[in-house]
Amino acid sequence: MSYFGALLTRTCFRIGYAIAKRLGSEGASVVICSRKESNVGKAVQSLRSEGITVEGVVCHVANHEQRRRLFEVATSKFGGVDILVSNAAINPAVAPILDTDEQIWDKIFDVNVKSSWLLAKEAYPELVKRGGGSIVFISSIAAYQPTEPLGAYGVSKTTLLGLTKAIANETVHENIRVNCVAPGIVATKFASAITNSEAGAEKSLSNVPLKRFGRPEEIAGAVAFLASDDASYITGETVVVAGGAPARL
């Protein structure tokens, strides 16, 4: 499996970090980002200690100038972008969807959906210059099973499934493949309210045939596959990595 330049968002923690590590270990030169400089520095140092070629950028994906900087670094350091992995996501409030404040709704969709669309839009000409490439969005099992406390978050992740299909249809003739990974519940800080609660864990795992939470490395493996030539005949698809949890719209 061979890669060139990979640009990944929100890559300083569990799932994002695992994706960067996996792509880097298989030959990619990676550009990672996070909103906090200290987090970027720690992740870069850790990845480099494992022999991975990596550059880090402080970036809030909703900020145009900071996104532009991502592509500038990828071009100046590694010659361009061949792979984009859009992993940034937030869920600043837990509430039923009809009780969600409009400002919270807008914030969720700005980061979870709009920034993914903008990153793909900005990556597109760079990928064309390289003769093609791969875009991978990170959705969630919540796209298929929106729960009451995470209604707005779930709908934002459902939107990514449609975004994947739409962009894939428009870029296929440029040799650009667009796919999506929908992780189940993974034991990360983001899901700690569920995974650290005995009652929450029991309820969540009741719908998971494998009866355990996922590992970041398992999500990274799916992303690496979709980004690689092994998936050269796959585009517009979402791979659910959720231990067998039901996933139908």
* Catalytic machinery residues: 153
Using alpha carbons, select from 177, 180, 182 the residue that is nearest to residue 163. Answer: 180
Contacts of 172 by beta carbon, 8 Å cutoff, 6+ apart? 235
- Strands 238-241 and 176-183, by their bridges, are parallel
Question: Considering only CA atoms, which of 108, 73, 71, 87 is closest in space to residue 34?
Answer: 87
The label of the residue with tokens 């296929």 reads 172
The string over 140-163, giving b where at least 16 C-beta atoms fall within 10 Å of a residue's C-beta and e elsewhere, is bbbbbbbeeebbbbbbbbbbbbeb
To the nearest 10°, the Cα dihedral for 164, 182, 42, 32? -10
